[in-house]
Amino acid sequence: MSIQPEPLLGHIDEAGWLECDLPGFRHIPSPNFDARPTDMSIELLVVHNISLPPDQFGGQGVAQLFTNQLDPTEHPYYAEIQGLEVSSHFFIRRDGQLIQFVSCLDRAWHAGRSQWQGRERCNDFSIGVELEGCDTQPFEPIQYDVLNRLVAVLHAHYPLRAVVGHSDIAPGRKTDPGPCFDWHRAPHI
């Protein structure tokens, strides 16, 4: 499926924040980011999956994780990841709600140790999009719709060259977006 220019979800403002009319869209700024290297172009979009607690959907765990507000007493898994400082630029919930945590101009901490086409440190030149999901359940049609529309906006604003999975840039270390992610429904650049 190729990226269709319409209907665009919105636009990216000068500060790197998405402005759109999608119902439920919001900005929740994360402290887990830093500056991209000077003159680094944004060429890659990395698709992830996440659910907190694992394999459970709809809670506030992901937003709490990305804003360092996860209560380690709320779930046994949360105690295991206590102190983890991670983020993503965008998060798409199962119902299609879109949240932006980090400006596209900044480096979100989503890819970790990674490599794409011989270049290491993919966080330097990528945008991370987390889909609420896991490796064992299919994603919702609305998530593909929002992802495609988001990538169209980002591609119109940045010189994106590819859309890849976390597993593509960190093979053996990461499995997401997982075997249930339908790449035929995903955006292609």
What is the 3 state secondary structure string of the chain?
CECCCCCCCEEECCCCCEEECCCCCEECCCCCEEECCCCCCCCEEEEEEECCCCCCCCCCHHHHHHCCCCCCCCCHHHHHCCCCCCCCCEEECCCCCEEECCCCCEEECCCCCCEECCEECHHHHEEEEEEECCCCCCCCHHHHHHHHHHHHHHHHHCCCCEEEEHHHHCCCCCCCCCCCCCCCCCCEC
Task: Locate the domains of the chain by residue range.
Answer: 10-169
Lookup: tokens for 10: 């919105």
**pLDDT value of position 104:** 98
Per CATH, the number for 10-169 is 3.40.80.10
138, amino acid identity: P
**pLDDT value of position 7:** 62
**pLDDT value of position 9:** 83
Q: Which residues are catalytic?
A: 130
Q: What is the pTM of this model?
A: 0.95
Q: Using the Cα atoms of residue 65, residue 69, residue 71 and residue 72 in order, give the sign of their dihedral.
A: positive
**pLDDT value of position 161:** 97
CA distance 137 to 178: 9
Half-sphere exposure of residue 73: CA atoms within 13 angstroms, side-chain side: 0
**pLDDT value of position 5:** 40
38 class by beta-carbon count within 10 Å (0-12 exposed, 13-18 middle, 19+ buried): exposed
**pLDDT value of position 6:** 44
For the chain, which residues score pLDDT lower than 70? 1-8
Q: Tell me how crowded residue 69 is: count the other CB atoms within 10 A of its CB.
A: 10
Query: Which residues lie below 8 Å from residue 51, measured CB to CB, with a gap of 6+?
Result: 57, 61, 62, 132, 133, 134
